A and B are shown apart, each in its own frame.
Chain A
Amino acid sequence: MRPHFNSILIRIVLLQIAAFAIAAAAVGIASHLLLNSASVRFENQSLRVHAISIAEHLKQQTDGSLRLDLPAEQRSYYDNSLGGLTYVVTDDDGHVLLNSPGSGIRVLKNDRSGKPTYFQSPNRRRSYLGLSIPVQAGSQQVWIQVTRNIRRPGLITNDVFLHFLRRVSWFSIPIVLFVFVTDFFVVRRVLHPVVVASQMAQTIDPRRLEVRLPTQNLPREVMPLVETINQGLARVEHGFNVQRDFTADAAHELRTPLSVLRMRLDGLEDRAAAKQLRADVDGMSHIVNQLLEVAELENVVVDGSETADLRRVCSDVVELVAPLALSQEKDIALTGSEKPVRVRGHAPMLFQAVRNLVENAVKYTAKGTTVEVNVGPQGIVRVLDEGPGVSEAERELIFRRFWRRDRAQTGGAGLGLAIVARVTEMHAGSVNIENRPAGGAVFSLDLSHALVG
């Protein structure tokens, strides 16, 4: 259930229902209290009327005894079955002189001050109200006590209250439902801009960093959150752009002078020296290229919707590396699937990864050997060579930046396999190294989980 309470709509509705219930209870209690005090006053008045009329009909007979001659209509009030009215007449000492039929006799200790006294049943349930008044009957001082049983059905206060409650619930239930339905629409309407903003937020990815959350019609309370997010996005975009521009500028600033240098060497008189220098410039260019690739891969993101044909990627790599292999008297071949092998991924990046593997295979093997690039239909590219292979101990180290087995060898910076590792990581694939029984290494680029179809 808990996640449901995360909905603002449900929270508002629940809080409103709670508030409504508390208000209803308060109104109920207040009206009950008001009605009660009004009816007590009303009762007291009626008790007084009854007590006075009893006093009027009370006569002292000649023998000194008292006699009450109530008219029939009045007597019926004390029939016990009707209004729950009873009366008791006592002497000054509280001895009962007269009482209504069937009344449980309740006697109040008479107030010696001789003032009329209202009283009620001593327990909190207040089952009766009473009035005691002093009366002079002939020579005798007596007390008339009238009580009314307020627990009896048909009593005015109870009746009115129950009636009231029934009426109130009749129209309060539709009101609650109405509030619920309006809440639903009002909250949905109010939160609509927030929903729009969050949909927009879903489209943010490092390829679309220019996206900002819309602030139009947004509730004031949500605005600071959205504005803060937008400021954060602006900073991220700026950081990305700075990095990208830096890489582009660095590329330009490094490659152009290298071009100039290389062309100046063409004009050199000493052909042998020129040849050596050209090789040096080429080695340097290679390192610059790899450094730039590493920098660029830091802020490139793979778009999940792109696909690449591994067969095509490998064919392009072999096409590119073939002249180099041939010039070193090595053979190169593409084998495996003849049909396209589509994987989710970025073709130019996969090209760089395979290219580095193939260039290594060519570089670290002897003349007269063959490098084979095999494209498996399941999305695994294998680069097989006939070189020295890679020992178990080196298989982790080899992917580190700047790691080289032979640091004395020039021309490489140890970045190639770091690029391979990074590209593979970005495609959530894996690279494995094995040695071939007859000598040589096999580098397998496993993208099988990214296979399309």
Chain B
Amino acid sequence: MARLLVVEDNEDLAGLLVQGLTRADFVADRVGTMADARDVLSRNQYSAVVLDLGLPDGDALTLLRALRAHDDPTPVLILTARGSVRDRVDGLGAGADDYLIKPFAFEELLARLQALLRRPGEFLGKPLSVGNITFDTVARQAFVDGKPQVLSARETSILEILIRRSGRVVQKGAVEDQLYGLAGDVRSNAVEVCIHRLRRHLAEVGATANIHTIRGVGYLIRETSS
């Protein structure tokens, strides 16, 4: 069971976050200040931290920087009310793995947390899913409606990278990088060919999720709208 730390000073929001995360089978601790966060982080091992930037006793970015300075790899997802042009870049520069601007959809937070926790080779929480497709990141096996699918190594890789960011665009370059480590041809249209085959396969087995091409940018998998 993944243990999370929620650093958020707003009582209501913190309470709701812990409630929601608990419902999603996480164990969540909650602190409201930088000092408390520093304290619990030094005593416990967390799978990920949800960090609000506007804390009463200082800028949470300094906490994040200190964490990274000590080579602490704990994934950090920043939650910020400061969506300003200046602040946006700062968070990632300080070593955050992802960030969400308030107000956010809870499902979005959950999806991003799950993506952060699912580093290759790790298994935490439920398998990834979109529509009736599920993906087991440890066995590297895709299922449609619970039935295991026979896919090539490249198709599996592509499906995995798309499903990790389901509902969001994966840049074409990132997909190419994913394929690069695998044997076979690396012609420029290799990705297109692969996507095409994967798309046809999913349609044939009645998957309720589609792979969309965003021309000039990349690909995206999302549940078919009914």
Q: Which residues does A use to contact B, with CB under 8 Å?
A: 247-248, 251-252, 254-256, 258-264, 266-267, 278, 281, 285, 289, 292, 296, 300, 315, 318-319, 322-323, 326-327, 329, 332-335, 346, 348-349, 351-352, 373
Bound together, the chains give a CA A261 to CA B20 distance in angstroms of: 14
Residue of B nearest to A300 (CB): B85
Question: Which residues of chain B have C-beta atoms less than 8 A from A349's C-beta?
Answer: 85
Residue of A nearest to B212 (CB): A326
Residue of B82, B85, B225 touching A248 (CB-CB under 8 A)? B82
Q: Are B102 and A329 in contact (CB under 8 A)?
A: no
Known: A255-B101, A263-B16, A326-B220. 17 other contacts (CB 8 A): A251-B83, A252-B82, A256-B102, A258-B103, A259-B102, A260-B16, A262-B105, A300-B86, A315-B171, A319-B217, A322-B217, A323-B169, A329-B225, A332-B214, A333-B217, A348-B86, A352-B85
Give B106-120 interface residues, CB cut-off 8 Å to A: 106
Q: Are B217 and A264 in contact (CB under 8 A)?
A: no
28 contacts between A and B (CB under 8 A): A248-B82, A251-B82, A252-B81, A252-B82, A255-B81, A255-B83, A255-B103, A256-B10, A260-B10, A260-B13, A260-B16, A263-B13, A263-B17, A263-B106, A266-B20, A267-B19, A285-B103, A319-B217, A319-B218, A322-B212, A333-B214, A334-B215, A334-B217, A335-B215, A348-B86, A348-B88, A348-B89, A349-B85
Residue of A259, A289, A292, A334 touching B13 (CB-CB under 8 A)? A259
Q: Are A262 and B222 in contact (CB under 8 A)?
A: no
**B5-29: contact bitstring with A at CB < 8 Å (1 yes, 0 no)?**
0000010110011011000000000
Bound together, the chains give a CA A285 to CA B103 distance in angstroms of: 7
Q: Are A322 and B84 in contact (CB under 8 A)?
A: no
- Asked if B75 is at the interface (CB within 8 A of a chain A CB), the reply is no
**B25-64: contact bitstring with A at CB < 8 Å (1 yes, 0 no)?**
0000000000000000000000000000010000000000
The smallest beta-carbon distance between A213 and chain B, in angstroms, is 27
The smallest beta-carbon distance between B1 and chain A, in angstroms, is 22
- Asked if B168 is at the interface (CB within 8 A of a chain A CB), the reply is yes
Residue of A nearest to B16 (CB): A263
Bound together, the chains give a CA A332 to CA B217 distance in angstroms of: 10
Q: Are B222 and A326 in contact (CB under 8 A)?
A: yes
Q: Are B103 and A319 in contact (CB under 8 A)?
A: no
Q: Are B103 and A252 in contact (CB under 8 A)?
A: no
The smallest beta-carbon distance between A426 and chain B, in angstroms, is 11
Which of A251, A259, A300 has the largest number of chain B CB atoms within 10 A? A259
Residue of B nearest to A317 (CB): B217
The smallest beta-carbon distance between A277 and chain B, in angstroms, is 13
Q: Are B83 and A319 in contact (CB under 8 A)?
A: no
The smallest beta-carbon distance between B175 and chain A, in angstroms, is 13
Interface of A is mostly: helix
Residue of B nearest to A325 (CB): B214
Question: Which residues of chain A have C-beta atoms less than 8 A from B16's C-beta?
Answer: 260, 263-264
- Asked if B167 is at the interface (CB within 8 A of a chain A CB), the reply is yes
Residue of B nearest to A278 (CB): B105
Q: Are A348 and B85 in contact (CB under 8 A)?
A: yes
Which of B12, B101, B216, B217 has the largest number of chain A CB atoms within 10 A? B216
Residue of B nearest to A281 (CB): B103
Give B100-159 interface residues, CB cut-off 8 Å to A: 101-106
The smallest beta-carbon distance between A375 and chain B, in angstroms, is 9
Bound together, the chains give a CA A285 to CA B102 distance in angstroms of: 9
Q: Are B106 and A289 in contact (CB under 8 A)?
A: no
Question: Which residues of chain B have C-beta atoms less than 8 A from A278's C-beta?
Answer: 105
Question: Which residues of chain B have C-beta atoms less than 8 A from A251's C-beta?
Answer: 81-84
With A322-B220, A326-B220, A333-B216 given, is the CB distance from A261 to B103 under 8 Å? yes
Q: Are B88 and A256 in contact (CB under 8 A)?
A: no
Bound together, the chains give a CA A87 to CA B214 distance in angstroms of: 127
Give B70-94 interface residues, CB cut-off 8 Å to A: 81-86, 88-89
Bound together, the chains give a CA A247 to CA B167 distance in angstroms of: 31
Residue of A255, A318, A335 touching B102 (CB-CB under 8 A)? A255
Question: Which residues of chain A have C-beta atoms less than 8 A from B81's C-beta?
Answer: 251-252, 254-256
Bound together, the chains give a CA A319 to CA B218 distance in angstroms of: 8
Residue of B nearest to A332 (CB): B214
Residue of B nearest to A251 (CB): B81
Residue of A281, A315, A351 touching B216 (CB-CB under 8 A)? A315
Residue of B nearest to A254 (CB): B81
Question: Which residues of chain B have C-beta atoms less than 8 A from A256's C-beta?
Answer: 10, 13, 81, 102
Q: Are A318 and B216 in contact (CB under 8 A)?
A: yes
